[in-house]
């Protein structure tokens, strides 16, 4: 009986540690693109912080936007396009919440 409890407890501890490690690895993989930003990407992300907004409009052909969407730092939600029609040129682009919060805590990443 004691060995069953020991095995069950060990299994729970290993499962908990595995969950922590995989969560940490996932967070690090998301943050990695923010450590190697190009100057245009840095400027673009800085504009979100300076404007204190999570949504801005940009040209679809902007290379910095294309790169950051590919890296999943920015996204182009289709459900809010109509809300921006006529207000500003370009397509609405949203910075991911995790990226916005990380950049607010680490403004040096965008030269701020």
Residue 52, sorted as left (phi over 0), alpha (psi -120 to 50) or beta, turns out to be left
Q: Where are the domains of the chain?
A: 2-110
Q: What is the model's pLDDT at position 1? A: 65
91 phi and psi angles, rounded to 5 deg: -105, 135
Measured distance CA(42)–CA(111) in Å, rounded = 7
Q: What angle do CA 27, 112, 67 make, to 5 degrees?
A: 50
Residue 95 tokens read as 């910075």
Residue 2 tokens read as 């004691």
Which tens digits make up the pLDDT trace of 68-110?
999 999 998 876 545 555 555 688 999 999 999 999 999 999 9
Which tens digits make up the pLDDT trace of 34-80?
888 999 999 999 999 999 999 999 988 999 999 999 999 999 887 65
Which pTM was predicted? Answer: 0.70
Q: What is the model's pLDDT at position 21? A: 66
């Amino acid at each position: 009986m004691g060995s069953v409890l020991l095995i069950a407890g060990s299994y729970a501890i290993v499962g908990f540690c595995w969950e922590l490690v995989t969560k940490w690895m996932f967070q690090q993989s998301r943050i990695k693109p923010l450590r190697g930003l190009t100057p245009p990407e840095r400027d673009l992300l800085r504009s979100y912080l300076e404007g204190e907004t999570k949504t801005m409009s940009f040209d679809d052909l902007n290379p910095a936007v294309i790169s950051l969407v590919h890296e999943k730092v920015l996204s182009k939600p289709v459900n809010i396009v109509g809300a921006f029609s006529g207000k500003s040129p370009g397509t609405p682009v949203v910075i991911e919440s995790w990226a916005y919060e990380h950049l607010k805590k680490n403004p040096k990443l965008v030269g701020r």
